[in-house]
Amino acid sequence: MFETKQIETLRPTTLGEILDRTAQLYRRNLLLFAGVAALPIAVIIAVTALIFVSLFAIPGLRGAGDSSFNPATALMTALLVVIVLPIYIAAAVFSFAGLTEAAASVHRGEKITIRGVFNAVRPFFWRYLWFGILQAFVIALIPAVIAGVVIGLLVYLTPGAGAAGGVALGFLAFLVGVAAFGVIIWRALGYSIGLSVCVVEKKSAWTSLQRAWRLSEGTRGRIFVLYLLILALAMAGSMIGYIASGTVGAIAGVMGNGAGYAAAAAIVAGVMYLVVDFIVQALLAPVSWIALVLFYYDQRIRKEGFDIEWMMQQAGLMQPLPAPPLAEASSISAPLAPPDTVEEP
């Protein structure tokens, strides 16, 4: 399953070199990355298709009108959420951790299969799941709750503040929302390589977050540019899906008249969009995970001399050493002000 070779890049790299290396690894292992990335997307597509087909094929699910409440539809939706949501979460954990595992393996020069990736993720599934929950809590939930409380207080004070005071409080609430959004982006960049730490070093979820915050110092701007590039690619892919489905639906609609042809055109356009969207997402998803793994190794080279350590290991001069651990945080707010020192192993 594994075949070890020498890492090709053992020096600090620029953003352009990381993007170039990402493209190289992806191109050489296209089926591996696309196959691992397709798992959660396939779940979403399958559920969407099931709902779509059920609404048209099962009598009574659509209800009498747009405004009518249909218990059958509500029950089916609830069942799908209860059954499918855990399946999707599990698939996402396997996919995201699997993409990270695959990227780290191929970067180290190892040969690994899709089955090997999932086998490597399975023993640590609950750890990776907890990491995802904790990461979302630290990055988004805390700032969102704080901003929500402040904005709610400002809204509560608005009626008694008069016209000018109401405008001032409304503008202040807007600034609080913008500030919260900025904090979320900032924290997301700081913890972005956390999954790489958790997967590669097999550290606990909280320790991985703390270590990721420290490692990401000095490279968060480059990671932000990476996310902007991925966002642009995602928008382009979505545009392709809309154009393809709209074109097919328009052609199907022109070929016939009547409600039957219109419904058929809508079905064809919907299926086409699902197919194109599935392909685009499966191809685009690995890009960020590969690049983040490369950022992780690049920061270890810059901060910890990982290149020297790796070459000594390959020469048989030393055994693999664990990465230097960070001091454990004493509170949930510690990541905002990470410690200035790193404990030696």
Tell me the C-alpha distance between 184 and 172, whole Å. 18
CB distance 276 to 244 below 8 Å: yes
Which of 84-88, 160-164, 167-171, 285-289 has the largest mean confidence?
285-289
Place of tokens 């009574």: 60
CB distance 293 to 103 below 8 Å: yes
For residue 318, the model assigns a pLDDT of 58
* pLDDT, mean of residues 71-91: 75
Pick from 118, 184, 256, 136: which is nearest to 176 by CA? 184
CB distance 131 to 195 below 8 Å: yes
Percent of the chain at pLDDT above 90?
41
For residue 3, the model assigns a pLDDT of 43
For residue 328, the model assigns a pLDDT of 40
For residue 305, the model assigns a pLDDT of 77
pLDDT of 53 strictly over 70: no
- Encode pLDDT of 265-321 as tens digits: 666 676 677 777 777 777 888 999 999 999 999 998 888 877 666 666 656 665 555
Tell me the C-alpha distance between 140 and 211, whole Å. 19
How many residues in total does the chain contain? 345
DSSP 120-171: HHGGGHHHHHHHHHHHHIIIIIHHHHHHHHHHHHHHHHGGGGHHHHHHHHHH
Handedness of CA 80, 83, 86, 91 (dihedral sign): negative
DSSP 295-320: HHHHHHHHHH-HHHHHHHHHTTSS--
For residue 332, the model assigns a pLDDT of 37
pLDDT of 199 strictly over 80: yes
For residue 333, the model assigns a pLDDT of 38
Q: Which 8-state DSSP code applies to residue 324?
A: P
pLDDT of 181 strictly over 90: yes
Biggest CA-to-CA distance, the chain = 78
